[in-house]
A and B are shown apart, each in its own frame.
Chain A
């Protein structure tokens, strides 16, 4: 029988033994649940005595968007310290002298961290039953949303891991990860809207390449988690560019998340190697071994 990866086993043991884990889970459910119940309460207050089924869709959208933002908050927090934390505890060097490959270390860290996020998401499933109670939602939408969460979580977690491998300090790594996640969720959306506005204000003939601008806007909105989620929920069509990227939006988003995530994980594993390869690897090599020498 295949043995579970030792780093994964250790991480799961450590993570699920902590009292903090249970508190975090409770806090997560309390926040999401409170959000949904508050939404229902406010709707009920505004129109007492009856419940409109189309409100289910609103709750579903609210719940899903809230969950996305909580994921954007939790996933980086869990992963941005996985390597830098080992470095700060001075356990990384010992780990690197074992026979485990750096890829195996990075991958196990990712799985262990995201396992908890998956637990968080599964724990929220009963909240979705509130939505189904009143109808108005296609059954296929929930798996679609959860698939979206998994992909997004993979990307956010990979960002956290590469930052924790690159930066020596967990504080810097965490801040940078949150910055990048914010750029990915909010920044690209704003950029897409801004570029659309640029294209609208300027006449097409004054632009260097209007086709390219539309392509960029389309790419940005098909890789922006908020735009994609709203599209899955059929709540928003997004910006109309008239450009096709060749594949359905969900396929483009899947390729983007998996491709970029795997690339970041591969880079993380390279950062852990003593062999410097290129400027960024050299920088990380110096950092990952403290100030280089000590005695």
Chain B
């Protein structure tokens, strides 16, 4: 549904995107993760027809964003990271304005606006002025605005930015509903645990380049090619870390009480042989398992702990 191939975009001396490629299949919720200035917003702006790539191609449902911007605009709903307020417009008028701007027939708008306001849990806010809404409500109204022309793809740039936990939970629920409606959603966020919950797949981007992408489970397992394993022992064994460090594929072991953790590069049969080695050498192993790292830890590991992404500005 979304395809970026070898996209490069330069601003002055800064290369925002460098031969960036990405593919998002239909119906997926796809997360874009990266630190500040990684190129997330640039990639999204290119897909939203707001920027031209210097090189490469960007396609939405097979339509080139440069060749067919009008068609692409009908296919996408774009939500920027900041909700711009129109003074003196009511929520329903705000949605009506965008429905008209997308060419939705006038006869259908009233029903559509009512449905959209219900979808985003603002059924009684139609007559309220937009600038009087809370930030969370504005974000949900902005999401409703993205949907006025029933787009197949949603591009959401930091939709949860600045929201309190309750508002984030509400937004997450709406995104879940949109996924069930069959929308393809490209989303960037700096709240990685939530992104991990929401997304089917994620891509990590840094310095305008794709670092890794794939299903969240796969990413967390294969970050830097090493899995994190842990060995629990029945009694204190101070030499175990040193022993493990001598085994092939093992790196950086550390001890936390009766648990030793380390990074391991090798397949599952090699992992089984490592367990055999431990047991046959008399180490009192009571548990040998893989540590499931969360997306935040993986992101920190992959991007060299440069800090959490909070893109968009």
Contact = CB atoms under 8 A, between A and B. Distances in A.
Interface in A83-109: 86, 89-100
B41 A6 contact: no
A294 B101 contact: no
A68 to B, nearest CB: 30
A6 B97 contact: yes
A96 B101 contact: no
B87 A295 contact: no
Nearest to B105: A3
A88 to B, nearest CB: 9
Q: Name the 5 nearest CB pairs between A and B, nearest first.
A: A295-B311, A292-B11, A91-B84, A6-B100, A295-B41
Contact of B49 (A18, A95, A274): A274
B100 A3 contact: yes
A282 to B, nearest CB: 11
B74 A99 contact: yes
Given A10-B86, A293-B9, A98 B39 contact: no
Nearest to A1: B106
Contacts of A289: 45, 50-51
Contact of A295 (B73, B74, B102, B312): B312
A275 interface: yes
Contact of B88 (A17, A275, A293): A17
Interface stretch (B30-38, B120-128, B211-219, B235-243): B30-38
A73 to B, nearest CB: 23
8 contacts: A93-B48, A99-B73, A99-B149, A274-B51, A293-B45, A295-B38, A295-B157, A295-B309
Contact of B85 (A9, A89, A95): A89
Contact of B89 (A14, A98, A291, A293): A14
B193 interface: no
B80 interface: yes
Task: Say whether chain A's binding surface is mostly helix, strand, loop, or mixed.
Answer: loop
A269 to B, nearest CB: 14
B70 interface: yes
A10 B106 contact: no
B129 to A, nearest CB: 10
B11 A291 contact: yes
Given A89-B86, A91-B84, A295 B49 contact: no
Contacts, number: 116
Interface residues of A, number: 32
A295 B52 CA distance: 16
A136 interface: no
B24 to A, nearest CB: 18
Contact of A100 (B80, B101, B149): B101
Interface of B: 9, 11-12, 14, 16, 34, 36-42, 45, 48-52, 69-70, 73-74, 76, 78, 80-89, 93, 97-98, 100-103, 106, 145, 149, 157-158, 188, 309, 311-313
Given A17-B88, A91-B84, A289-B51, 5 more contacts: A6-B100, A9-B97, A94-B145, A294-B37, A295-B158
B97 A295 contact: no
Given A14-B86, A295-B312, A97 B78 contact: yes
Nearest to A87: B84
Contacts of A291: 11
A93 B80 contact: yes
A234 B21 CA distance: 69
A286 B78 contact: no
A93 B50 contact: yes
B102 to A, nearest CB: 5
Nearest to A16: B88
A93 B155 CA distance: 13
A40 interface: no
A292 B16 contact: yes
A25 interface: no
Contacts of B49: 96-97, 274
A293 B41 contact: yes
A90 B88 contact: no
